[in-house]
Chains A and B, each alone.
Chain A
Amino acid sequence: DQQVKQNSPSLSVQEGRISILNCDYTNSMFDYFLWYKKYPAEGPTFLISISSIKDKNEDGRFTVFLNKSAKHLSLHIVPSQPGDSAVYFCAARRIGSSGSARQLTFGSGTQLTVLP
């Protein structure tokens, strides 16, 4: 049972345009969401996160939007650059008082290709 879904395995955009990566989740217990970026042969790198008490978080060219009622979040990258080409993973976790809630549940990833 996939609790975090990224339905688009790949996305291509032109340099300078906006990239929009989407993610859906099913578990209502998730209340903290993260995006990671991964290059081949490297580990995932944290990009940006959002708590469920917010609907938007912005950091430079990266903005994450959360629609809690739809259980949907998206990552916007604008303007897109060729160096942004990578696999982007959506992840979720429950914030809890016990340590066992710290694990992340990942989506299957979206390969973003930014064309020069």
Chain B
Amino acid sequence: NAGVMQNPRHLVRRRGQEARLRCSPVKGHSHVYWYRQLPEEGLKFMVYLQKENIIDESGMPKERFSAEFPKEGPSILRIQQVVRGDSAAYFCASSPVTGENTFGSGTRLTVV
């Protein structure tokens, strides 16, 4: 029973490039959440999705960031035209309808 799978584990992008982060939830989980952790800080909520729907994106910057959770395939967090300040660890979590979040191991994005 695989947990939440995130890939890649590490991603290096130059300023201005696009970053795509993937998250496959636990099998049977219909809720996906993305969090961002900056150095020396806690995890900050970005977006909450269910299949084909964005439920809450209040924590996601309005520009350059987008997220999707299609009917088939993983959830994708997309960051366009990355800047140095986007460097962080991005964690995905999934949950069933009721139950606690299970987190993936994260994607560490470095913008150079």
Contact = CB atoms under 8 A, between A and B. Distances in A.
Interface string B90-112: 01010100001111111000000
Interface in A78-111: 89, 99-100, 102-109
B42 A106 contact: yes
Interface size grouping (class) on chain B: 20 to 34
Nearest to B45: A103
Contacts of A49: 100
A107 B105 contact: no
A64 interface: no
B5 to A, nearest CB: 11
Contacts, number: 59
Nearest to B46: A103
Nearest to A87: B42
Interface stretch (B11-19, B48-56, B72-80): B48-56
Contact of A108 (B42, B56, B95): B42
Nearest to A46: B100
A49 B33 CA distance: 19
Given A43-B91, A44-B91, A34 B100 contact: yes
A100 B42 contact: no
A4 B103 CA distance: 20
Interface string B80-95: 0000000000010101
A89 B42 contact: yes
Contacts of A102: 31, 33, 48, 95
B56 A89 contact: no
Interface of A: 4, 6, 9, 34, 36, 41-46, 49, 89, 99-100, 102-109
23 contacts: A6-B42, A34-B100, A41-B105, A42-B106, A43-B4, A43-B91, A43-B93, A43-B105, A44-B43, A89-B43, A99-B48, A99-B50, A102-B33, A102-B48, A103-B48, A104-B35, A104-B43, A104-B45, A105-B45, A106-B35, A106-B42, A106-B44, A108-B41
